[in-house]
Amino acid sequence: MKLKRAKVYRDPVHDIISYENQGDVGRLMVTLIDTPEFQRLRFVRQVGLAYLVFHGAEHSRFAHSMGVAYLARRMFDAVREGSATDCPDRVVTLVAALLHDIGHGPFSHAMERVFNFHHEDYSRALVSDDDSAICQTLRTFDPTLPERVAGLLEGRGNAFCADVVSSQMDADRFDYLLRDSLMAGVEVGGYDLERILLMLEEDENGLLVNVRAFESVEGYLVGRYHMYRLVYFHRCVRGAEAMLQMTFSRAKELMDQGVGVVAEGSLFGRLMRGDQLAPTEFCSLSEIDAWAQIKDWSRSADEVLAELASSLVNRRMFRAVEQDAGSPARLARLEAAEAEIVAELGEKSRYWFTVDVATDEPYSPYVPSSLSRGKAIRVRDRDGSVFRIEERSPLVGALGSASYSFRRWCYHPSLSGLVSKVAAAHGVIPGHGA
């Protein structure tokens, strides 16, 4: 009898990702990939609106999730060499890695801030909801698998498996740093993945790495730091996200006033009303639907909504200006200037001007009072002892003690004169915007 060939997926980062058709686990993974819920991720971009700045960053959460599952398999097999392909820990780890982003909606985190939901909740719900094809597929394989996958997505279960799926050195971060830097056309996210994979280990507390990959892990953490500064927190990327949030906020305000900005009973309308969508309903939304709605709003009779929407569609970006808070005295002057701008604009301030404040920790050091398991990256020394990487690395220690934060003014270009005048009056002259 002729054997079926493996199912092969070509990947720009990992080259060939394959699943054997002869094994139950391989068939499970392929079946999950082919579900409507997972295929929807083709229409959700991995890095939101970053492609408006880095034009190559058009890649999807589908591609990223494929990479995460691939790396989770490599991590598991490297540490537990010789384990059966269908051992329960391996199956739940691979499935959880594949499905970790299944609950992301259009524009991912930017939309979560508007509609006040968390993609992790929808990810767990889709895994456990008997109406979803994903849950049905998992139950067919093993009736207990949906609950075990949902548990691992919450950090419960075997410590090593949980760390592979979500930790400071997990398959998710390993993939998105390489993939996002490649697709964005920047070279700062690269690191020595192969060396790290070769040196991964496990103990009763979860995942750790051999000291022989010490410098490679340092490079990985530095790469993450630079990717946040250069790509994820790029001022124009964040400015575009602010415009998106303002657009949907304005539409929601009009809808609350009884203005028909969305079709009656549409999923977007229900989401904007604050309704809790069923997991399978939420999973029918993609960025195709969102852009169609935004394009329709660009022709709205409401001037504010039309301007916001058409600016997004035609990439007429708001100015995004760095404002370093520096000292408490400067922060006080900034806040006074911001208050004056808001007062000058009145109602328009909510849609023409915003202050973007964000912080990222490139590395989260161990905190004895923290309830988070496995927060630190642990390293096994040559004598068998285990230490936290920040204890021996001044570089990682510096990353852990100095979080990256910024304060930016995002505003409509027509406000340049007003902003400059107020900034000068308060002694906080902004830098050059884009």
Predicted confidence (pLDDT) per residue in 168-179, tens digit: 999 999 999 999
Indicate the residue type of 339. A
Q: Is 232 helix (H, G, I), strand (E, B) or coil?
A: helix
For 226, residues 6+ apart whose C-beta sits below 8 A from its C-beta are 188, 189
Distance CA 390, CA 386 (A): 12
- Dihedral, CA of residue 264, residue 266, residue 271 and residue 275, to nearest 10: 70
> Could you tell me the two tokens for 225?
């730091």
Task: State the Cα angle at 59 between 57 and 61, rounded to 5°.
Answer: 130
What 3-state DSSP class applies to 410?
Answer: strand
Q: Is the domain covering 7-232 a CATH 1.10.3210.10 domain?
A: yes
Q: In this predicted structure, what is the pLDDT of residue 95? A: 98
Q: Looking up tokens 């070509």, which residue turns up?
A: 10
Task: Show me where the domains of the chain are located.
Answer: 7-232
What is the model's pLDDT at position 402? 63
Rounded CA separation 245/259 (Å)? 19
| Tens-digit pLDDT profile for residues 64-73 | 999 999 999 9
Q: 171: which residues sit within 8 A by CB, 6+ positions away?
A: 68, 69, 71, 72, 75, 97, 164, 165
Q: Which residues of the chain have pLDDT under 50?
A: 1-3, 368-374, 432-434
